[in-house]
Homo-oligomer: A and B are copies of this chain.
Amino acid sequence: MKSYRKELSFNIPSRRGFVNITPEVESALQESGIREGFVLVNAMHITASVFINDDEHGLHQDYDKWLERLAPHEPVDQYRHNDTGEDNADAHMKRQIMGREVMLAVTQGNLDFGPWEQIFYGEFDGRRRKRVLIKIIGE
């Protein structure tokens, strides 16, 4: 059994944003030399997500608007978490809807993906450095 570990790092200049990290995950898989196994990709922070969906700009606008409707940022004093001095309670909720992590199959040395699957980092409380963990186990 082989294992491989890599971190990605982000500093999104706005509060919220989506970044396609599929090429970085593919590179990590090639570096690992693993041909059959699993890849875990997870946000290391609790106000961010890793998820799989479409790389389409209109959809990302829709996600942003929809998440704001389900868990609005303002007014910040609607959330007890923000009594601690934070203003990011909404980001902890948005991350639950979009998810912390994805698991990917590795088959014959490649990410075993359907036709439109792309991996995204979803930031809900940006403007500081945050990290994603890639861990690969297999043979």
* Residues of chain A at the chain B interface (Cβ within 8 Å): 1, 3, 5, 36-38, 40, 42-46, 51-54, 56-59, 61-63, 66, 70-71, 79-84, 89, 92-93, 95-103, 105, 107, 112-117, 131, 133, 135, 137-139
Contact = CB atoms under 8 A, between A and B. Distances in A.
A133 B37 CA distance: 14
Nearest to A136: B105
Interface of A, helix, strand, loop or mixed by DSSP: mixed
20 contacts: A1-B1, A1-B36, A1-B138, A3-B107, A5-B112, A40-B103, A40-B105, A43-B114, A44-B115, A44-B117, A45-B116, A46-B52, A54-B81, A58-B82, A58-B83, A62-B89, A62-B93, A63-B96, A101-B102, A103-B103
